């Protein structure tokens, strides 16, 4: 564990060692001054130690109370967070203690959910997942990069949930008014940028191209909405580029689903990718879906 005390830092120790080892006179002077200071202050130190032993709690409280509060809003936010946590502990954790003790030993979720990082679309809150039911990955615009793009946090979580946890369902869920998709649709073709956001959302460029080809007559806002759903299906197809995902889907051990949450009118669409091993895409360049549902 890192030490915050200056006296314990390696740099401090190294400097002190050099000053005492290479300058004997300085070392003797420091010892002499230390001894003199010790004898002169022994009485006052004794009094302070006595006061600390009898009023230690009061001294700590005084220090705490006089600490300046620089960010009042943050303090208020964490006070509310504390109250929510204690409420969770009382009404959820302790009332279901046996279940949480089981989860402390292992997890066996049936779902991997890939959702947007947008603060308005927490999948557990919207879809009611309870602890242990869903392994959740959240990123900007709920994108799944293809296998050939190389390692990233999203496919690391994908690998773990599929190969180790052996989830039975992957749900890629998007949402209305997605800022990540809007950034994708606003980008110029072949744009070079140092922006982390743009370099990430370009993963969805196939969805953007498809949207431009089929919805060019629509307004920009309508094109963004179209791309929000098209991007979900593009991510479902990207999932099949991972060998261990494609293998389990082909064996019927894993299903791939898309979902779209419209928080403007609180509706949810759900569908399943109809996997065809020989050709996951149709001749028209589209894809087959099944079990489409609309929840309202």
Rg (CA), the chain: 30
118 labeled part of a ligand binding site: yes
Residue 189 counted as an annotated binding residue: no
Placement of tokens 């869903």 in the chain: 134
Provide the CB-side half-sphere exposure for 40 (13 A, CA): 6
CA atoms within 13 A on the CB side of 10: 1
> What gap in Å lies between CA 287 and CA 114, rounded to an integer?
20
* Residues 215 and 194: beta-carbon distance below 8 Å: no
Q: Locate 242 and state its tokens.
A: 């991972």
- Say if strands 255-262 and 289-295 run parallel, antiparallel, or are unpaired: unpaired
Cβ pair 283, 268 in contact under 8 A: no
Determine whether the annotation assigns residue 122 to a binding site.
no
Residue from 128, 138, 133 nearest 107 by CA: 133
Binding-site members are 116, 118, 175, 178
Binding-site members for Zn(2+) are 116, 118, 175, 178
């Amino acid at each position: 564990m890192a030490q915050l005390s200056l006296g314990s830092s390696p740099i401090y120790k190294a400097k002190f060692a050099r000053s005492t080892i290479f300058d004997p006179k300085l070392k003797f002077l420091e010892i002499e001054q230390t001894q003199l200071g010790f004898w002169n202050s022994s009485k006052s130190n004794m009094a302070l130690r006595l006061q600390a032993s009898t009023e230690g709690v009061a001294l700590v409280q005084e220090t705490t109370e006089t600490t300046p509060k620089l960010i009042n809003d943050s303090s208020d936010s964490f006070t509310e967070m504390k109250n929510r946590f204690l409420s969770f502990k009382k009404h959820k954790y302790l009332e279901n203690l046996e279940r949480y003790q089981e989860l402390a030993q292992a997890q066996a979720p049936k779902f991997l959910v890939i959702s947007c990082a947008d603060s308005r679309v927490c999948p557990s809150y919207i879809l009611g997942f309870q602890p242990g039911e869903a392994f959740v990955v959240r990123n900007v615009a709920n994108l799944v990069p293809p296998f050939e793009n190389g390692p990233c946090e999203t496919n690391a979580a994908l690998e773990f949930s599929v190969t180790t946890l052996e989830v039975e369902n992957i749900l890629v869920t998007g949402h209305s008014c997605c800022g990540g998709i809007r950034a994708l649709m606003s980008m110029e073709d072949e744009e070079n940028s140092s922006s982390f956001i743009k370099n990430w959302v370009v993963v969805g460029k196939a969805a953007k191209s498809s949207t431009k080809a089929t919805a060019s007559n629509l307004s920009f806002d309508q094109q963004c909405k179209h791309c929000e759903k098209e991007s979900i299906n593009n991510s479902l197809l990207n999932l099949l580029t991972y060998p261990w995902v494609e293998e389990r889907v082909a064996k019927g051990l894993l299903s791939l689903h898309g979902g779209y949450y419209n928080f403007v009118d609180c509706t949810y669409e759900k569908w399943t990718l109809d996997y065809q091993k020989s050709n996951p895409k149709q001749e028209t360049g589209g894809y087959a879906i099944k079990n489409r549902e609309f929840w309202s």
